[in-house]
Structure 1
């Protein structure tokens, strides 16, 4: 039987508890989960691709199973094909996410109808978490400990202290 490979793409800037919830649950659906760390041209990252990959690898190390962390800078479907994936795993937080993800899934299906998109609803307690908001809270000196692991919190706070907080 062929190995089921899933791809969970994202910028993970930084990786949040919401991402970890989707990774834990997504890893149960496939034999191998490839976490694709990418750069979104419409976002300005706080961390480099290499830093984000290290962060993701550290965070997923205790999950178990076959989880790989790979960077990519191409169309998602081209990346998924290169990985031998049969599914794309996406997390949904709200209706706005669904509308965007539904459109993306439709476009991706047009590019390759052999790769399914699977949506996982975020845990209710984690639904409001977004990396963009975590960074914004940190930049303004807020507490992000409820949204990221302690190690990620330390990295974000250190980066914010390096680039300077707003409102000081």
Structure 2
């Protein structure tokens, strides 16, 4: 089995992200989760908080696979970071046709830049399809309940961030 690379901002990690991480562990021996760092953007959660959310999600959902993931920060091209990590797969989650159209373009570009790295699309479970980190942040900022969209520990962290 291969090493896979899955990227995102994970700000915050949602049930949808966790769904794709767990699916990726079904197709890869190891998974490197790359948290994109952009100096021009100020995330709600620090890299360490986001990495902890991801590691905790796997530890609680698939404890026997907790040692099979690594979380790194990266900037620049995801395909370059995947190559640097020795990954042969890039994992992308698909929620809908909008994701599909965008991800197909990215897969094509990545395939031209790194033909040795294969992009694998994993479909989001129906319950996860409407979830986006942006919407979760917006709902939480307005005092809404986000417990259906994120793990309990992420919901608590969001509540703490927005009650300050």
Q: Check 1:70–1:124 CA distance in 2 against 1; reply closer, same or farther (3 A cut).
A: same
CA shift for structure 1 position 16:
0.6
SS of 2:27's partner is coil
- 2:31 maps to 33
CA contact 2:18–2:54 (8 Å) conserved in 1? no
Question: 1:82 aligns to what?
Answer: 84
Is 1:45 aligned with 2:51?
no
1:16 counterpart residue number? 14
Distance 1:124 1:67 in 2: 25
Residues 117, 43 of structure 1: alpha-carbon distance in 2 compared, 3 angstrom cutoff? farther
Any gaps of 5 or more consecutive residues in structure 2?
none
- Structure with more helix by fraction: 2
Alignment TM-score, normalising by the size of structure 2: 0.92
Q: 2:111 maps to which residue? A: 109
Deviation at 1:128, TM superposition (A): 0.3
Q: What is the Cα deviation at residue 92 of structure 1?
A: 0.4
SS of structure 1 residue aligned to 2:28: coil
**Please, which runs of 5 or more residues in structure 1 have no aligned partner?**
163-168
* Length-normalised TM-score, structure 1: 0.89
Query: Across the two proteins, how many residue pairs are aligned to each other?
Result: 160
Deviation of 1:56 after TM superposition, in Å, equals 1.5
Query: Which region of structure 1 is more displaced relative to structure 2, 128-137 or 51-60?
Result: 51-60
8 Å contact from structure 2 (residues 95, 129) kept in 1: yes
SS of residue paired to 2:121: strand
